[in-house]
């Protein structure tokens, strides 16, 4: 009886998945697969860089300098270093694991492990696998025995948590039934991509059949057509239902910056000076639109927007910028430019970032980094140009602590 019920659930889930997947175009599926693979590649590249640095540090630990009358000579002081062969893959793998331990924060890693456990239990409950416990499915995946239907199982698992259709009944869920957001669906997929791509060594390759051995598959099942088709369709459904989907495609435009620029310099909103006290809470509660943070704060926001727009930076990257990273350079042509040198970014966490050179744009003042920089610098220089460029405002003045960055 239980076996028949599980078969009904699988058939209903499969039919609903096929119906939703028809809405996704081939181009959207390709783009979704590429984005998922790029994110995993960025993490793997960081792993490799950290592992190389760790190996270099370990090799240098076994070499010390010994001074004598003739100068300096090098010798190996650690007997254990002689036992390590250059081609020892086990040692290198251990170095990689050690160097990669902090790539993902402990909290995120814990969430990934929890989601993986939920997924394996879901597969066992619906009897996708001939195992009675999720532990046996976990062992099978670690041995490389990954079923060909794994991508569809991932999609069904996400659908069970996030979709409007109840897999147990095949009908629309009640309004009071819990539905996970699209952001949670992305996190669930990221957990699968991490598990198969990094922990099981499947990498960022697309899930494809092995031409040399039919019936077996290569690549990452989370980076597959089946999963991408469902994620694209789920995103559309969430948008139609009124959910606010936050994606990187929603970028601001030049016209948006123009509107912000004229708002920031509008005398009706920029009447407060840097030393004026902030508006009273009662007045702000009575008049929410009367948000007067002061001229200095508007100038800071304007510079923040311009830098983020011209350098294509995430806002968490912009808010970390420090004064020492910015150079105001005068060119032979009697013009000026800004040189912004970032030590790291989300996609370049080990450095190696070419500096950004920002030139004036007098025809469009809302896109002129020189005007925005000079205006904010003149307003803030009495506080000291140290620490973070974009800092908190405490009372009527900006924080004296340069480490109090704006959040």
**CB neighbours of 343 closer than 8 A, spacing ≥ 6?**
325, 351, 353
Burial group, residue 121, by CB count within 10 angstroms (0-12, 13-18, 19+)? middle
pLDDT of residue 367: 93
pLDDT of residue 250: 53
Burial group, residue 228, by CB count within 10 angstroms (0-12, 13-18, 19+)? buried
Sign of CA dihedral 221, 222, 226, 228: negative
pLDDT of residue 292: 57
Task: Reduce the DSSP state of residue 53 to 3 states and report it.
Answer: helix
| Structural contact between residues 372 and 318, judged by C-beta atoms closer than 8 angstroms | no
pLDDT of residue 339: 94
Per-residue pLDDT of the chain (407 residues), as tens digits, is: 556 655 666 666 666 666 666 666 776 777 777 778 777 776 666 556 655 656 665 665 554 444 444 444 434 334 333 443 434 445 545 554 555 555 567 788 899 999 999 999 999 888 888 887 888 888 888 888 898 899 999 999 998 898 887 777 777 888 888 888 888 999 999 999 999 998 998 888 889 988 888 888 899 999 998 899 888 888 888 888 877 665 544 567 888 889 888 877 765 555 444 445 555 555 555 554 555 566 778 888 889 999 999 998 888 888 889 889 999 998 888 789 999 998 877 666 667 788 999 999 989 999 999 999 998 888 776 666 778 888 877 666 676 665 666 76
CA 310 to chain centre: 20
Backbone torsions φ then ψ of 240, nearest 5 degrees: -65, -30
pLDDT of residue 167: 74
Give CA–CA dist 142/74, Å, rounded.
Answer: 44
Give CA–CA dist 371/260, Å, rounded.
Answer: 15
> What is the side-by-side order of every strand in the sheet holding 326-330?
326-330, 336-340, 356-358
CA 325 to chain centre: 23
pLDDT of residue 18: 67
CA angle 29, 143, 35 (to 5 degrees): 20
| Structural contact between residues 124 and 131, judged by C-beta atoms closer than 8 angstroms | yes
CA angle 319, 322, 326 (to 5 degrees): 115
**pTM, whole model, 2 decimals?**
0.52
Residue 347 DSSP class:
S
pLDDT of residue 91: 53
Pairing state of beta strands 356-358 and 217-218?
A: unpaired
pLDDT of residue 359: 94
């Amino acid at each position: 009886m239980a076996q028949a019920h599980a078969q009904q659930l699988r058939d209903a889930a499969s039919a609903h998945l096929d119906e939703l997947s028809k809405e996704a175009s081939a181009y959207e599926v390709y783009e979704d697969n590429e984005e998922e693979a790029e994110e995993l590649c960025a993490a793997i590249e960081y792993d490799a860089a950290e592992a190389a640095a760790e190996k270099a540090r370990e090799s240098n630990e076994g070499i010390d300098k010994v001074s004598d009358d003739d100068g300096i000579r090098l010798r190996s002081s650690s007997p254990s270093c002689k036992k390590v062969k250059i081609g020892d893959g086990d040692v290198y793998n251990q170095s990689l694991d050690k160097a990669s331990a902090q790539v993902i924060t402990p909290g995120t890693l814990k969430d990934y492990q929890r989601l993986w456990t939920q997924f394996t239990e879901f597969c066992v409950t619906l009897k996708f696998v001939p195992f009675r416990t999720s532990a046996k499915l976990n062992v099978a995946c670690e041995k490389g025995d990954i079923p060909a239907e794994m991508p569809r199982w991932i999609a069904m698992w996400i659908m069970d948590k996030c979709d409007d259709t109840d897999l147990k009944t095949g009908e629309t869920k009640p309004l009071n039934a819990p539905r996970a957001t699209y952001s949670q669906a992305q996190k669930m997929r990221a957990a699968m991509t991490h598990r198969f791509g990094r922990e099981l060594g499947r990498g960022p390759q697309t899930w494809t059949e092995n031409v040399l051995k039919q019936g077996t598959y290569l690549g990452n099942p989370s980076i597959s057509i089946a999963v991408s088709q469902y994620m694209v369709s789920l995103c559309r459904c969430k948008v139609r239902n009124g959910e606010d989907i936050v994606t990187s495609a929603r970028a601001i435009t030049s016209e948006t910056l123009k509107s912000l620029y004229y708002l920031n310099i509008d005398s009706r909103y920029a009447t407060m000076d840097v030393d004026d006290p902030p508006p009273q809470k009662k007045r702000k509660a009575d008049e929410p639109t009367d948000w007067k943070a002061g001229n200095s704060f508007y100038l800071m926001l304007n510079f923040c927007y311009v830098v983020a727009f011209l350098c294509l930076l995430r806002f968490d990257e912009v808010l970390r910028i420090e004064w020492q990273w910015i150079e105001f350079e005068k060119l032979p042509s009697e013009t000026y430019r800004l040189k912004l040198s970032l030590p790291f970014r989300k996609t370049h966490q080990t450095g190696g970032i070419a500096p950004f050179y920002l030139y004036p744009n007098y025809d469009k003042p809302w896109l002129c980094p020189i005007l925005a920089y000079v205006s904010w610098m003149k307003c803030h220089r009495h506080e000291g140009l140290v620490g973070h460029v974009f800092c908190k405002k405490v009372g009527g003045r900006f924080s004296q602590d340069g480490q109090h960055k704006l959040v």
